[in-house]
Amino acid sequence: MIRVVRSELVRLVRPRFLLGWFGLMAVFAVMANFIMFSTATGSTQAPSGPGVSFPTAAELAGPSGVVAGLAAAASMFGVVTLAFWAIATGIDFQSGLIRILASVERRRWKLLIGKVVALALTTAVATTVALMITTVVAPIAAKSADISTTLWGSDSSVMLSAWTNAYLAMLVWGTIGLVLTVILRSSAIAISIGIGWVLVVESIVGLALDNPSWLPGSTMQSLAAGGNDSASYLSALGLGGVYIVIAIAFATVVMQRRDITD
């Protein structure tokens, strides 16, 4: 398994691939913070849109305000993660490399798990990049919006909590991107489905069903926020774990039964 993971990491650590992934994470972190702070007013909920949920000015002035941007744009970060997991998986099918890998390693589940582990490790770095950019940009955005930062730094645990919650949410999105690509054998279609789900489908379904907490976007938003009005943290964590298990199990079955060596 270590050799499989190492092989995946060697192919993942490509400057252009990582620059695109980490660069988009940084761009969304900057955008989320400036928009979030500029639209926050008093104790009234700030405007929200598809895949985005902004805190109030009072919440931004609290101890966790410095890292609020991670949760605010959780779905946008998730779509980026889904996209790059899909790209990393789709390249194997499009290049024909999957045939060679499957011929060498007959236990295809090891190939799949090795890719998941390698992508999970890279996602940890991407989450760290988002956290670093957020902590740099947040004070600037807060100052421009005239929001107090006096309480920032009073709770040393907020950084770790924000990173962990955002990372877990991104893992779920990434796993969904992987399984969609394995099924469809096309990263472009998988990415289109992911973006369409967040920006269109889930918004429509949410309006029709009064925002059910079990929808992937709502679940991951609750998980990244450490729990919210839609779902508690434990509920979101449990449901996120269910999504990951089902996605990996489904992808494993497809990998085992599909003819990919011819």
Question: pLDDT by residue (tens digit) across 134-190?
Answer: 999 999 998 888 888 888 877 778 899 999 999 999 999 999 999 999 888 888 998
42 near 58, Cβ under 8 Å? yes
Q: CA–CA separation, 3 vs 184, rounded Å? A: 27
Please report, for residues 33, 69, 133, 201, the alpha-carbon distance to residue 83 in angstroms, rounded to integers and kept in the order given: 22, 20, 20, 17
**248 token code pair:** 């990996």
Q: What percent of the chain has pLDDT over 90?
A: 32
pLDDT of the residue at 256: 79
pLDDT of the residue at 10: 85
Q: Which of 45-54, 57-66, 81-90 has the highest mean pLDDT?
A: 81-90
pLDDT of the residue at 94: 78
pLDDT of the residue at 209: 66
Q: In the chain, what are the domain boundaries? A: 2-257
What tens digit of pLDDT does each residue of 198-224 get? 777 777 776 666 666 677 777 888 888
The rounded mean pLDDT for the chain is 84
What tens digit of pLDDT does each residue of 237-250 get? 999 999 999 999 99
